[in-house]
Amino acid sequence: MRNDYTWNEPQPIGAPAVKAFPVEALGQVGRDMTLAVSEFTQTPLDAAGTAFLGAVAACVQGKYEVEGKPGYNEPVNVYENYIAQPGERKSSVHRCMAAHCYDWERLDNERRAPEIRRFCDENELYESEIVSVKKSKSPRSEKSHKIAEIRAEQDLLKAVKPTRIFFDDITPESLATAMYENGERGAIFSAESGFFDNIGRYSEKANFDIFLKSHSVDPMRVNRRGREEIMNSPKLTILCCSQPHVIEGLMKNEAFRGRGLLARFLYSFPESALGQRRYDTAPIPPEVSQAYRDLIFALLDIPLPEKPEIIKLSGEAHEAHKHFFDIIEGEMTGKLTHISDFAAKLPGAILRIAGLLHIVSNYQSACIKPISGDTMRNAVKLGYYFISHALKVFAYAGVDEKAAAAQYVVKRLAKARALILSRAEIHALCRGRFDKIESLLPVLKNLMQLGYLREIPTERTAATGRRPDSRFELNPLYFKGVEQCIPCHEANHHGRRS
């Protein structure tokens, strides 16, 4: 049988190729540091780029909010999940991007050490007085009155605690207390997937209210160890890393997905750099590191106000954000249907990113100057980047049912004994998932559009007038194993059977 059909490599199933990280969107300091860290660690730009956004958010969360329109504000903290294989130097990237934050924290606590000691000493004296009153032989009513007086004086003490920017390997319960004692703020930079393991580590049910409410800065009340901890606006930034094999379990966790935790994360899943890295790399230039250090210190030096300062949008920025919203909303019943929970939160995330990019470039006048159109367009570039990677993540995890069905059929076709198969033969291979052949037909149509197979034209037979069972030819560029197993003439003979 002559075959003049020209084959091309098939398209990926489930999602288009992911977009490259738009490093130019980060501004000069962010771009230069991202490029330098990527070169030094031999990691994708995505690793340092997402870490830059996380580090900036950790520095300024609680200090600003972005007004999308009257009555609608977004905070500037972000949740990110970077996905990479073991050995891809995630910890090295985190050390480079977070080192100056730790330096500032250490210096600030050294400067405030006398105040911290004074508060601790005075607090201990009050506690000692209370113990003495409890041990005295005074009447119960007199003890209660005296203790109440001491507590009232103790409450007037202005708490002075050591500053903490990052929390590591912490349970949700401990995180809530740590944030309560840290001005209702905190950040988690974790180079391992253990962050998700900590949720529900000590209980049968996942406990992640702190993560849900700290993303949207909603009030939270926690009863802990005999006392009530009230946070009016908890703020948390997360940059965690997951290995690819962990993703499927996370995406199929009904609690994580059902309550919206996973929809709050921005995902980055670049191609692995393993096997392409160089041993000799250029160190981070001192001037680049210094510029990044100056930025981090300047952002951390901004005082934490009683209420966040409001950053407004310019008219051009408003139109760019509205246009992005309209596009995403239009895709909610299209290619983004299966990740609509993620897509619904993305316009808000873009406001947050636009705020971060604006602060980086204008931290001395962030609330005086509105966000420019160029800054919003850079945030939108990052939005499309995160969409493409989210599609890859959710397809990889099998959440996209259409993609999962197509992947199943392709895996079964790889076990075929010929490159040309009838519709009934394909159904026989895939009967484990498709009971009826009718349910298989849309999947075959999808695979034909993607270039994995094609339908061979057939004609009605003279004897019966009926069209014989449809036959399909597999793409030999993809199904190379099948092509090697079956000689061409045998495959053609197999394909002519009806």
Q: Per-residue pLDDT tens for 243-295?
A: 887 777 777 777 777 788 889 999 999 988 888 899 999 999 999 999 999 99
Burial (CB < 10 A; 0-12, 13-18, 19+), residue 283, is exposed
Instruction: Measure the CA angle with vertex 91, ends 89 and 95; round to 5°.
Output: 120
- State whether residue 266 is helix, strand or coil: strand
What span, in angstroms and rounded, lies between the C-alpha atoms of 460 and 196? 59
Q: What is the pTM assigned to this prediction?
A: 0.78
Question: pLDDT band at residue 486, thresholds of 50, 70 and 90?
Answer: very low
Q: Which of 100-109, 354-363, 429-438, 480-489 has the lowest mean pLDDT?
A: 480-489
Identify which has the larger pLDDT, 176 or 460: 176
The amino acid present at 440, given as its one-letter code, is L
Backbone φ and ψ of 483, nearest 5°: -60, -35
Please give the distance of CA 145 from its chain centroid, rounded to a whole number. 52
User: Has residue 131 got a pLDDT over 70?
Assistant: yes
Instruction: Tell me the per-residue pLDDT of 145-200, one tens digit each, with 9 for 90 and over.
Output: 999 999 888 888 887 888 899 987 788 878 888 898 888 999 998 877 556 655 64
Identify which has the larger pLDDT, 480 or 479: 479
Question: pLDDT band at residue 337, thresholds of 50, 70 and 90?
Answer: confident
Calculate what percentage of the chain has a pLDDT beyond 90.
Answer: 58
Q: Does domain 23-111+162-396 have CATH number 3.30.70?
A: no
User: Has residue 26 got a pLDDT over 90?
Assistant: yes
pLDDT for residue 495: 40
Q: Strand locations in 388-470, DSSP E?
A: 420-422, 453-456
pLDDT for residue 481: 75
**CATH for 401-496 (1.20.120.420, 1.10.150.80, 1.10.10.10, 3.90.960.10):** 1.10.10.10
Question: pLDDT band at residue 489, thresholds of 50, 70 and 90?
Answer: very low
pLDDT for residue 497: 37
3-state DSSP of 50-113:
HHHHHHHHHHHECCEEEEEECCEEEECCCEEEEECCCCCCHHHHHHHHHHHHHHHHHHHHHHCH
Backbone φ and ψ of 261, nearest 5°: -65, -50
pLDDT for residue 272: 87
> Helices (DSSP H) in 367-420: which residue ranges?
373-396, 401-413
Identify which has the larger pLDDT, 465 or 276: 276
Where do the domains of the chain lie? 23-111+162-396, 113-155, 401-496
What span, in angstroms and rounded, lies between the C-alpha atoms of 486 and 167? 58
Calculate what percentage of the chain has a pLDDT beyond 70.
Answer: 89
pLDDT for residue 430: 93
User: Has residue 100 got a pLDDT over 90?
Assistant: yes
Question: pLDDT band at residue 19, thresholds of 50, 70 and 90?
Answer: very high
User: Has residue 301 got a pLDDT over 50?
Assistant: yes
DSSP state letter for 339: G
Q: Tokens 């299966």, residue?
A: 338
What span, in angstroms and rounded, lies between the C-alpha atoms of 376 and 482? 50
Buried b or exposed e, range 331-362, using 16+ CB within 10 angstroms:
eeeeebebbeebbebbbbbbbbbbbbbbbbbb
pLDDT for residue 83: 92
